[in-house]
Amino acid sequence: MPTGSPGAYGARVTTVLVVDDDATVREVVARYLTRDGHRVLERANGIDGLAAARSERPDLVVLDLMMPGLDGLTVCRELRKISSVPVIMLTALGEESDRVVGLEHGADDYVTKPFSPRELALRVAGVLRRSRQETWPGAGLADLTAVEDGDLRIDPVARSVSRSEVPLALTIREFDLLAFFLTHRGQVFTRAELMEHVWGWTFGDESTVTVHVRRLREKIEPDPGNPVRVVTVWGIGYRYDEATP
């Protein structure tokens, strides 16, 4: 990753790639993020954005959903083939189903247009803070050893997960969600509680949690359609159960 002088989020300046075909949006977002100490790269279309992501290896990507040519969903899907870089999707679409599609393609977060640049800057800060965590959400020092649950192995220090010794490509949010579940095994949490503990939001669209749970199950469950680890507690929320020996 690119290196630079010390910044607000670590020993070097973080690089944020902003991909949007609207020059005004790019300018405003870049101004706020630069003010917060980030190095900002701007690209006006999906093709150039994907190329920049591959060559510059940014710490985070702010990606518009609706762009001519290569749209944001396609860019996000292609990014997920090569990287787990956090992605915040910008969308002018208001329907929940449209936002869910973005999350299902690998986005970590989304902001609906029109949006407050300050809100976006705070979301960027929050996602970067999560991506740089060296401990699990809510975990103490005693929890920093690797954990095994059946064929699943989680290394909190390396932020890596494997099943049957095969590495799993989890996004930042998926890892944080799994880490939270593992440090609170057997406890039931509502979607609102998970949003607050894992995302750090006290408000927002709870479908974000639903999509991330589904994506996590697809990676860690032997049969995602009949989950035995992240189970649904009907009418309440979700609970993590250890796999049956």
What are the chain's domains?
A: 15-131 (3.40.50.2300), 141-240 (1.10.10.10)
> Ranked by mean pLDDT, which of 76-85, 97-106, 133-142, 184-193 comes out on top?
184-193
pTM (2 d.p.): 0.63
Task: Say which residue the tokens 């973080």 belong to.
Answer: 14
What is the structure's pLDDT at 140? 44
* Averaged confidence pLDDT in the chain: 82
More confident position, 44 or 206: 44
What is the structure's pLDDT at 21? 94
Q: How confident is the model at residue 134 (pLDDT cuts 50, 70, 90)?
A: very low
Could you tell me if 143 and 101 are in contact, meaning their C-beta atoms sit under 8 angstroms apart? no
What is the structure's pLDDT at 239? 96
How many beta carbons lie within 10 A of that of residue 4, not counting itself? 13
Closest among 60, 82, 106, 78 to 212, alpha carbons compared:
106
- Percent of the chain clearing pLDDT 90 (strictly above): 38
What is the structure's pLDDT at 95? 57
Beta strand 160-163 pairing with 166-168: antiparallel
How many beta carbons lie within 10 A of that of residue 12, not counting itself? 15
Least confident residue range of 61-70, 80-89, 232-241: 80-89
Q: Mean per-residue pLDDT for 206-218?
A: 88
What is the structure's pLDDT at 61? 95
Q: Is the pLDDT of residue 16 over 50?
A: yes
Measure the CA–CA gap between 136 and 63, rounded to whole angstroms.
27
Distances (CA, A) of 194 to 21, 222, 241: 34, 23, 16
DSSP for 170-208?
--HHHHHHHHHHHTTTT-EE-HHHHIIIII--SSS-THH
Closest among 118, 119, 120, 11 to 61, alpha carbons compared:
120
